[in-house]
């Protein structure tokens, strides 16, 4: 990825020349890839065999902090132990499979609500009520079942559920969240749309003027983006018009915070967006070809000097998040749900993505590449 200085000069060139970043070629994505059950199932199986961001590390601030939710349809619980390490387990009791945790919180122990078996934060089975009823039970071999791997990178907890088919997003991960960004809000939402439609809606600026004439366009440009790829990930930069005030600014130590929106697509299901006054992280959990659950987290922006945000920064971040929720996000959601509704019309066998939409091309290409790997992997096991 370009440094902020390089990014600024590249953007100013585009402004002066009326240009934007262009991909090599256009791309046709079969509509079937948004509708077919077998494709959806394959995407979910892939999700279990790649490192996938599960939550921000900031959601696990202290020993006992946990986040429980399904990922690729599998209920998981991620918890910070007394030793500070973050572990992830399948969220199922070893007695008769009841889920042990729900949502997020902080606990000393996971006690099953069904019959009371209790597990330590490191997963060990600690206590079984009336244990004499299980004469052959070896408590040491009946702890919570861990996932294949957990890794903390760039402020995100990545989980690989099963033996992976590749590095996925970790092939080359950009810098994302920093330690001085404060998590101030989290929420969950459900949309009756395919997850890829929503992702696509964030990955190009070709639509900004027609779709967001009063919310985003007055502050931005018509079809002016810098699009960068890093591994299978991508970053799309949407400059604000106020960036032109930096034309003659000294380049040393320059920061483009508040001068650009940066949309990071962390391959393939996660977005980390640095917006005007806050940072929005969204983890997609596809539930069907036409339904997606989102786990959303809002952070303050990083401060260039590495200091913590003050009350004013926090107020601005909250206001920015509310503005987006009331305007641009609704405009995008309307587009996506309209496309979803027209999908079965038969008008298109393929969707066409042009040279302005190269980050979408990149997402689809890499998804196809990894689905192929998954297919080879699964065949080799039969």
Q: List residues near ligand FES by CB under 6 A.
A: 93, 95-96, 98, 112, 114-117
Shortest distance in whole angstroms from residue 215 CB to Fe ion: 9
Alpha-carbon distance 62 to 219, whole Å?
A: 40
Q: Based on CB atoms, which residue is closest to Fe ion, 43 or 332? A: 332
- Burial pattern 324-340, b for ≥16 Cβ within 10 A else e, equals beeebbebbeebbeebb
Shortest distance in whole angstroms from residue 11 CB to Fe ion: 19
Shortest distance in whole angstroms from residue 137 CB to ligand FES: 12
Q: Based on CB atoms, which residue is closest to Fe ion, 49 or 235? A: 235
Query: Length of the chain, please?
Result: 382
Shortest distance in whole angstroms from residue 335 CB to Fe ion: 7
Q: Based on CB atoms, which residue is closest to ligand FES, 89 or 299? A: 89
Q: Based on CB atoms, which residue is closest to ligand FES, 30 or 143? A: 143
Beta-sheet strand order (sheet of 270-274): 183-191, 291-300, 278-288, 270-274, 260-266, 233-239, 226-230
The CA R_g of the chain, rounded to the nearest whole Å, is 22
Residue 98 interacts, among ligand FES, Fe ion, none and using kind-specific CB cut-offs from 5 to 8 Å, with ligand FES
By CB under 5 A, the residues from 300 to 359 that bind Fe ion are: 332
The residue assigned the tokens 């809002």 is 298
C-alpha distances (whole Å) from 44 to each of 70, 78, 149, 376 are: 12, 19, 17, 16
Residue 117 interacts, among ligand FES, Fe ion, none and using kind-specific CB cut-offs from 5 to 8 Å, with ligand FES
The residue assigned the tokens 């036409």 is 290
Residue 332 interacts, among Fe ion, ligand FES, none and using kind-specific CB cut-offs from 5 to 8 Å, with Fe ion
Shortest distance in whole angstroms from residue 80 CB to ligand FES: 23
- What percent of the residues of the chain are helix, what percent strand, and what percent coil, each to the nearest 5? 30, 30, 40
Shortest distance in whole angstroms from residue 240 CB to ligand FES: 53
Residue 96 interacts, among ligand FES, Fe ion, none and using kind-specific CB cut-offs from 5 to 8 Å, with ligand FES
Shortest distance in whole angstroms from residue 63 CB to ligand FES: 23
Helices and strands, counts by H and E, the chain: 8, 19
Q: Based on CB atoms, which residue is closest to ligand FES, 89 or 117? A: 117
Residue 303 interacts, among ligand FES, Fe ion, none and using kind-specific CB cut-offs from 5 to 8 Å, with none
C-alpha distances (whole Å) from 348 to each of 28, 173, 332, 355 are: 11, 35, 21, 19
- Burial pattern 156-168, b for ≥16 Cβ within 10 A else e, equals bbbbbbeebbbeb
Q: Based on CB atoms, which residue is closest to ligand FES, 88 or 128? A: 128
Shortest distance in whole angstroms from residue 74 CB to ligand FES: 17
User: Is residue 191 a contact point for Fe ion (CB under 5 A)?
Assistant: no
Alpha-carbon distance 292 to 240, whole Å?
A: 30
Residue 38: in which H helix or E strand, if any? helix 37-48
Residue 285 interacts, among Fe ion, ligand FES, none and using kind-specific CB cut-offs from 5 to 8 Å, with none
Which residue lies nearest Fe ion, judged by its C-beta?
Answer: 332
Shortest distance in whole angstroms from residue 328 CB to Fe ion: 6
Residue 318 interacts, among ligand FES, Fe ion, none and using kind-specific CB cut-offs from 5 to 8 Å, with none
CA angle 49, 53, 55 (to 5 degrees): 135
**Do 222 and 357 form a contact (C-beta atoms < 8 A)?**
no
Q: Based on CB atoms, which residue is closest to ligand FES, 130 or 382? A: 130
Residue 195 interacts, among ligand FES, Fe ion, none and using kind-specific CB cut-offs from 5 to 8 Å, with none
Q: Which parts of this chain interact with Fe ion (CB under 5 A)?
A: 332
């Amino acid at each position: 990825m370009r440094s902020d200085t390089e990014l600024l000069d590249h953007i100013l060139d585009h402004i002066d020349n009326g240009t934007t970043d262009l991909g090599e070629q256009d791309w046709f994505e079969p509509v079937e890839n948004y509708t077919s059950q077998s494709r959806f199932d394959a995407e979910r199986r892939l999700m279990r065999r790649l490192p996938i961001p599960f939550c921000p590390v900031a959601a696990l601030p202290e020993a006992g902090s946990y986040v429980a939710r399904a990922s690729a349809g599998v209920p998981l619980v991620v918890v910070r132990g007394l030793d500070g390490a973050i572990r992830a387990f399948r969220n199922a009791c070893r007695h008769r499979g009841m889920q042990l945790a729900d949502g997020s919180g902080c606990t000393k122990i996971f006690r099953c609500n069904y019959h009371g078996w209790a597990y330590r934060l490191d997963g060990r089975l600690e206590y079984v009520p009336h244990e004499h009823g299980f004469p052959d039970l070896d408590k040491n071999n009946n702890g919570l079942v861990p996932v294949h791997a957990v890794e903390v990178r760039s402020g995100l907890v990545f989980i690989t559920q099963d033996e992976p088919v590749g590095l996925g997003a970790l092939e080359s991960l950009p810098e994302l969240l920093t330690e001085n960004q404060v998590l101030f809000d989290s929420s969950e939402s459900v949309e009756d749309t395919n997850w890829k439609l929503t992702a696509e809606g964030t990955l190009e600026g070709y639509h900004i003027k027609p779709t967001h004439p009063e919310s985003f366009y007055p502050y931005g440009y018509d079809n002016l983006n810098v699009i960068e790829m890093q591994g299978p990930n991508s970053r799309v930069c949407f400059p604000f018009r106020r960036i032109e005030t930096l034309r003659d600014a000294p380049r040393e130590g320059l920061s483009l915070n508040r001068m650009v929106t940066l949309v990071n697509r962390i391959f393939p299901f996660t977005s980390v967006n640095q917006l005007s006054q806050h940072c929005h992280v969204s983890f997609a959990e596809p539930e069907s070809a036409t339904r997606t659950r989102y786990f959303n987290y809002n952070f303050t922006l990083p401060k260039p000097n590495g200091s913590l945000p003050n009350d004013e920064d926090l107020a601005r971040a909250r206001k920015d998040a509310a503005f987006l929720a009331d305007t641009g996000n609704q405009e995008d959601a309307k587009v996506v749900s309209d496309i979803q509704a027209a999908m079965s019309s038969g008008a298109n066998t393929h969707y066409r993505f042009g040279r302005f939409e190269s980050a979408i091309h990149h997402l689809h290409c890499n998804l196809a590449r990894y689905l192929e790997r998954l297919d080879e992997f699964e065949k080799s096991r039969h």
